[in-house]
Amino acid sequence: MAVGFDIDDTVLFSSPGFWRGKKTYSPDSDDYLKNPAFWEKMNNGWDEFSIPKEVARQLIDMHVRRGDSIYFVTGRSQTKTETVSKTLADNFHIPAANMNPVIFAGAINRNKIR
């Protein structure tokens, strides 16, 4: 069976990285969400400040024990590199056989799909 999970504020409490991005790139607006520099940071290390949610850990553990294939989908914009997949695999103890690369479905990527 294949299962998919949303990342931000679903399996991870990722608000700390988003807060840092807002303070760093656009303190008075949400323009940081359109800034590629923010997404580079968020997708390459700022998830180290994200807190795994315990209920997500329990649910993912159940799927790992069953041998299910695990996918994570996010509304984040894709970047040239990313450490999100490794961070999720490490935080939730997902073996490589069960883990798939994160699917980035952010606004920047939607144009490529059409």
Query: Tens digit of pLDDT for each residue in 76-102?
Result: 999 999 999 999 999 999 999 999 999
Residue burial 46-59, b: 16+ Cβ < 10 Å; e: rest: bbeebebbeebeee
Superfamily holding 2-113? HAD superfamily/HAD-like (3.40.50.1000)
Predicted confidence (pLDDT) per residue in 32-77, tens digit: 999 999 999 999 999 999 999 999 999 999 999 999 999 999 999 9
Domain ranges for the chain? 2-113
Q: Which residue has the tokens 């993912």?
A: 60
Asked about 8 being catalytic, the answer comes back as yes
Quote the pTM value. Answer: 0.89
- The pLDDT of 4-25, averaged and rounded, is 97
Active-site residue identified among 6, 30, 31, 90: 6
- Secondary structure (DSSP) of 34-60: G-HHHHHHHHTTGGGG-EE-HHHHHHH
